Each structure stands twice: as C-alpha cells, then as structure tokens.
Chain A
Amino acid sequence: NAGVMQNPRHLVRRRGQEARLRCSPMKGHSHVYWYRQLPEEGLKFMVYLQKENIIDESGMPKERFSAEFPKEGPSILRIQQVVRGDSAAYFCASSPSGLETQYFGPGTRLLVL
C-alpha cells in the first residue's frame, strides 16, 4: 500500500516564477492537508481539502498561494510569483476521514533563488 506521494521532491525557482507542488494521497484517503516547514521553524498548517472542496484555508497566505484537489488527479499547491521567503519544505498529509490520523508524504523542498 503506497504511502502519500509528493512530487517533485526538490524544486528550484527564480523569483517571480510559479511553483506547482503535487500530492497524491494514500489509497482510500479523501482528505488532504498541506503544511509548510520554514527553515528552523515548526510545521505550520496551510490548507485542508476534500475532493473538489476547500474545507479550511485559514493558514494560507492571502496572496499568491492557492490549492485544489480535483475530482481526478492529485492535489496541487500553487505558488505564484515566488519570493525568497517561500523557500521551505512543503508537506502533504492525508487521512481517510477528517478526524483520523494524518499520514505525511516525503515533502517538496522549494528553493527560490
């Protein structure tokens, strides 16, 4: 049973470019969460999605960041016009329902030059 999959594992972007991070949840899981881990800081919640719905985006920066979880395909976290401060590890987690244990993927490490 494959775990949570994220790609790419490493992503390098120049300031002003767009970054697209993908997350495929574990088989049978329909709830997806995105967290960000800034250098020397703890994991911070960004957004919680179910298929075709954003349930809670209280942790998302107001501008440049968006997330989706379409009916078919992986969840996407999109960062437009990246800045150096966006450099971080972005983790996706999934759970079978909203109140069960969240299992994490390996993360995408974004570096903005």
Chain B
Amino acid sequence: EDQVTQSPEALRLQEGESSSLNCSYTVSGLRGLFWYRQDPGKGPEFLFTLYSAGEEKEKERLKATLTKKESFLHITAPKPEDSATYLCAVQRGNAGNMLTFGGGTRLMVKP
C-alpha cells in the first residue's frame, strides 16, 4: 500500500527564516510526486510535479527536490503570505491515476 508521510506537522518561522519541509514516501512504481498548497477553506493549488530522482523545480521562494525515498520543499526567505498547508502526493504509474496524499505541513510565517 502506498504511504506518504510529511514532517513536521506544523512549522512556525519568522519572516526571512529559510527552512525545508519533508515528504517521505513508499510507493511501487512512482510515476510522479506532486506538491500542492492549500489555504484555509480552499482547494489545493498545484505547485510542482517531480518525476525522477535528482529532479528539482523552482517557483519564486519555493524549490522542490526529489530522491528515491523522499522529497523536500525548500522555502527561502519566506513571507507571511507563504503561510498555508503544504501537501505532498504520489501517483503510481501502474495502477490508475489516483493521488495518495500525506497529512500536510501547516506553515505559519510571522512578520
């Protein structure tokens, strides 16, 4: 059974204090690993897709990386507007297209 574990569950940062969020996964035949951002009362907003170990993608203050067992979401010099829950999900390549999500990391950035 596919498993996705995110850590920490919650993270408080001061504005400008860089950090990383972790997503550990166990999946047979990974097709893709996805990062989403979810604000309270809203749906997940797509950030990145990573397909193979060693791949990296960047968007503004966010950078996602992938190894064979985990993915990191690095946040450089965060701002209060980066406060949200960050979700990681995996998709198997050989058994349908469903996403299996982790529990998320709640990020709070204080000014």
* Interface of A toward B, CB cutoff 8 Å: 4, 6, 31, 33, 35, 41-45, 48, 55-56, 58-59, 91, 93, 95, 98-99, 101-107
Contact = CB atoms under 8 A, between A and B. Distances in A.
A101 B101 contact: no
Contacts of A33: 97-99
Contacts of B100: 45
What's the dominant secondary structure at chain A's contact region? strand
Interface residues of B, number: 21
A15 to B, nearest CB: 25
Contacts of B97: 31, 33, 48, 55-56, 95, 98-99, 102
A42 B98 contact: no
A98 B31 CA distance: 12
Given A31-B97, A45-B98, A48-B98, A104 B45 contact: yes
Contacts, number: 60
11 contacts: A6-B43, A33-B99, A35-B101, A48-B98, A56-B97, A93-B99, A99-B31, A99-B97, A104-B44, A104-B45, A104-B46
B43 A105 contact: yes
A55 to B, nearest CB: 7
Nearest to A46: B98
A95 B36 CA distance: 15
Interface in B4-49: 31, 34, 36, 42-46, 49
